[in-house]
Chain A
Amino acid sequence: MIRDITIGQYYSTDSVVHKMDPRTKILWTLLYMVMLFVVDSIYSYGVIIAFTAMVIKISHIPLKYILRGLKPILFLVIFTAFLNLFLVDEGKVIFEKGIFSITEGGLWLAIKMAVRITLLIMGTSLLTLSTTPTVLTSGMESLLSPLKKIGVPVSVFVMMISIALRFIPTLLDETDKIIKAQTSRGADFENGNPIKRIKAMIPILVPLFVSAFRRADDLAVAMECRCYNSDAPRTSYRKLEFGINDLSALCFGIIMVCTLVLIEVVS
Chain B
Amino acid sequence: MIEFKNVSYSYNDSIGDNAAAVKDINLKINKGEFIGVAGHTGSGKTTVAQILAGLIKPCGGTILVDGIEYSDYKAAARVLRSKVGIVFQYPEHQLFEETVYRDIAFGPKNKGLSEEETDKCVRRSAALAHLKEELFEKSPFELSGGQKRRVAIAGVLATEPEVLILDEPAAGLDPSGRERLWGELHKIRKEQNTTIILISHSMEDLAQNAERIIVLNNGEKYKDDTVSNIFSDAALLKKCGLEIPEITKVIKLLNDGGMNIPENIFDITKLSDVICQRLGATL
A interface residues with partner B (beta carbon < 8 Å): 3, 6, 9, 11-12, 62, 64-65, 68, 174, 177-178, 180-188, 202-203, 206-207, 210-211
Contacts A185-B159, A203-B106 given; indicate if A180 touches B141 (C-beta within 8 A).
no
Quick one: which of B12, B88, B111 contacts A181, CB cutoff 8 A? B88
- A209's closest neighbor in chain B, by CB? B96
Contacts of B106 in A (CB 8 A): 182, 185-187, 203
B interface residues with partner A (beta carbon < 8 Å): 12, 14-16, 50, 53-56, 81-82, 84-86, 88, 91, 93-96, 106-107, 110-111, 141, 155-156, 159
Instruction: Check B81 against A186 for contact (C-beta < 8 Å).
Output: yes
- Enumerate 15 A-B pairs (CB-CB under 8 Å) in ascending A order: A68-B16, A174-B93, A177-B94, A180-B55, A181-B91, A183-B81, A184-B84, A185-B110, A186-B107, A186-B159, A187-B110, A202-B96, A203-B96, A207-B93, A210-B95
Instruction: Check A207 against B88 for contact (C-beta < 8 Å).
Output: no
Quick one: which of A9, A11, A185, A211 contacts B155, CB cutoff 8 A? A185
- Chain B facing A: main interface SS: mixed
Contacts of B88 in A (CB 8 A): 177, 180-181
Contacts of B156 in A (CB 8 A): 184-185
Instruction: Check B81 against A211 for contact (C-beta < 8 Å).
Output: no
- Chain A facing B: main interface SS: helix
Instruction: Check B16 against A65 for contact (C-beta < 8 Å).
Output: yes
Report the Cα distance A177→B49, complex, angstroms.
13
- A10's closest neighbor in chain B, by CB? B14
A-B pairs, top 4 by smallest CB distance, nearest first, are A186-B110, A206-B96, A185-B107, A181-B94
- A65's closest neighbor in chain B, by CB? B16
Contacts of B94 in A (CB 8 A): 177-178, 181-182, 203, 207
Report the Cα distance A12→B56, complex, angstroms.
28
Contacts of A183 in B (CB 8 A): 55, 81
Instruction: Check A178 against B111 for contact (C-beta < 8 Å).
Output: no
Contacts of A178 in B (CB 8 A): 93-94
Quick one: which of B12, B15, B85 contacts A184, CB cutoff 8 A? B85
